[in-house]
Structure formats: structure tokens, C-alpha cells
Amino acid sequence: MSENAPRHYIDGHEISGGRLVNLIDRAEELRNGRPQEGSGALAGKSVALIFEKPSTRTRISFEVGVVELGGHPVVLRGDEMQLSRGESVEDTARVLSRFVSAIVIRSGSHENVVTLGEYASVPVVNALTPMFHPCQALADLQTLKQRFGNLDGLKLAYVGDGNNVARSLAVAGSLTGVEVVVAAPEGYQLESDVPAKLTDDPREAVHGADAIYGDVWVSMGDEETADQRRADLAPYRIDGHLLSHAKRETIVMHCLPAHPGEEITADVLYGDRSAVWDQAENRLHAQKALLEYLLAS
């Protein structure tokens, strides 16, 4: 990367493990200091927030975060932009770079986000693509550090569909000393070259784990195969029986939205071992720390 090239956060590899830990520490400072004024890192700056897909936590956390850092969020749906009428990703990147200080995008195409980063002269943040969800993983690391005090040496067991969240957790874990084990059935597992241990046995995965992590079985775009997915993934439900194979102090995580009774039971989701709501809140603090870093002069 040249000296004047913008910093991006697209697949999670762009930031070193040491820097990630520093970001998490900064996110904790921002959490503890709220609702006081933030750092003012975005004072006088605008950030484009592009959402081609529906969003709750991602949109709200970024929009509120930009405001709390003193900036102005410009929220755009995909169908509100000329992208939907054939304008190229390259030209969109060139134009937005003249207007805003950073671009945050939630897209159905990872390739388009990569292209946006190649042609933008301002930081580009991946707010979710089919391949990666690095901002979620950043907030998850913050949640783990809150609960256990340190990241190095922890074990996280992801159980269910090996998707973009699982892939980003594997990347983030490999950079910060967290062992990530992904338990998924054949046809739902991550690629063999991801930095995680792969298994088809959820009980093996959760043995000795500090955290058990789940996600929905039917994501946007999977509706046509919903019944088959539910049948294939049923043995990977996070419930009291699966928790009995973990440690007493093991926490439960979920990136939300959740479907109680499918990938996780209600008693676990809302039980005293759940860290889910801390995870959701930490999206705000982690992303504020990320924006500070990406826009630092």
C-alpha cells in the first residue's frame, strides 16, 4: 500500500492482530465514556452508508456511531443510487470519494466491494457481503475480551452454517490468538484453507470452548432451500444438551437476528449465559473505534 493509499477494512486481513487488540481497547474506552461526546474524529466529515440489503444493527450502529464521532451519515439504499441503473462500481467509487470521507457498504456482491476499495480514494468498510462480515467479528472480539479479560488462548466454537460470519471469526481469531472451531455438516462447511479447525461434530467443537456461537440457518437468499437447510442443520442447534458438553462458564453468542427454536433455543438465547445483547451493543463501540483508526491522519 502506498503512503497516501486509504485504509480499508474489507476482509479483516487489513489490520494486524496487535492493532485489532488496540482497537478493541479503544472501543472499550468509547463504551465506558458514553453518552459523553466522542472524540470528534469525524467533525466536519460525512460518511456514506450504503445498504443494498435490509439491516438493523449494522445500519443503526454505524449511523449513530458517525453522529457520536461528530460526523454526518449519508444513508443510501441500493435502489436510490445510479448503481441500480448501470453506473459502474468504479465510477461510483470515484464520485463518492469526492463527496465523503469514508464509504461503508452492505452488499450482495463481495467482488463489488473489493472493486469499490480499489477505485476509492477514501476508506471503504465492508458492512457485510456474502463472503465476510468483519465488523461483526470485531465486535465479537470486544465481547470476548470484556468477558474473559484477554483474547489469547481462548477457544470459540461456531456451530451451524459455515457462512460469512464464521469465516470472519476465523480470520479475526487467527490474528488475535483465539482458536476458532467450526462445526458444520457436509455441504455447509467453510473452505479447507480457512484459519480454523473444521469438524462435523458439534459436541467435539464445544468441548473446552469458552464461547459457543450460532447464526441463522436461513439467510437472505436461502429462502428457496429453507426446509432442506433446517433439516440438515437441526443436529447443530444450540440448546441445553449441547451446552452440557461445554464448561460451566462457557458463554453463548449469536450475531442476530435469531430464530428461537431453530438454530438456538429460547432458554439459551435469553438465559444467563447469553452474551448476545452485549455483542449487539458492541457493534456501535467497535465500529466507532474502527472509523477513528481508518480516518486517522
* Chain centroid offset of residue 69 CA: 20
- Indicate if the alpha-carbon torsion angle 99, 68, 64, 53 is positive or negative: positive
136 is catalytic: yes
List 8, 59, 106, 254, catalytic entry:
106
Nearest to 73 by CA among 50, 54, 92: 50
List 57, 133, 167, 229, catalytic entry:
133
Phi, psi dihedrals of residue 51, rounded to the nearest 5°: -125, 100
* Chain centroid offset of residue 226 CA: 23
List 11, 26, 136, 142, catalytic entry:
136
255 is catalytic: yes
Residue 213 contacts residue 234 (beta carbons within 8 Å): no
283 is catalytic: yes
7 is catalytic: no
List 140, 255, 279, 285, catalytic entry:
255
List 167, 237, 254, 283, catalytic entry:
283
Residue found under cell 441503473: 85
135 is catalytic: no
Residue 147 contacts residue 251 (beta carbons within 8 Å): yes
Nearest to 137 by CA among 1, 247, 290: 290
List 215, 254, 285, 287, catalytic entry:
215
Query: In angstroms, rounded to a whole number, what is the distance separating the alpha carbons of residues 172 and 180?
Result: 9
The stretches of the chain forming alpha helices (DSSP H) are: 17-33, 57-68, 89-99, 110-119, 134-148, 164-176, 202-206, 226-233, 240-243, 266-269, 276-294
272-279 long-range CB contacts below 8 Å, 24 or more apart? 273/243, 275/143, 275/147, 275/211, 275/251, 276/252, 278/143, 278/146, 278/147, 279/139, 279/140, 279/143, 279/253, 279/254, 279/255
Q: Which residues are catalytic?
A: 106, 133, 136, 215, 255, 283
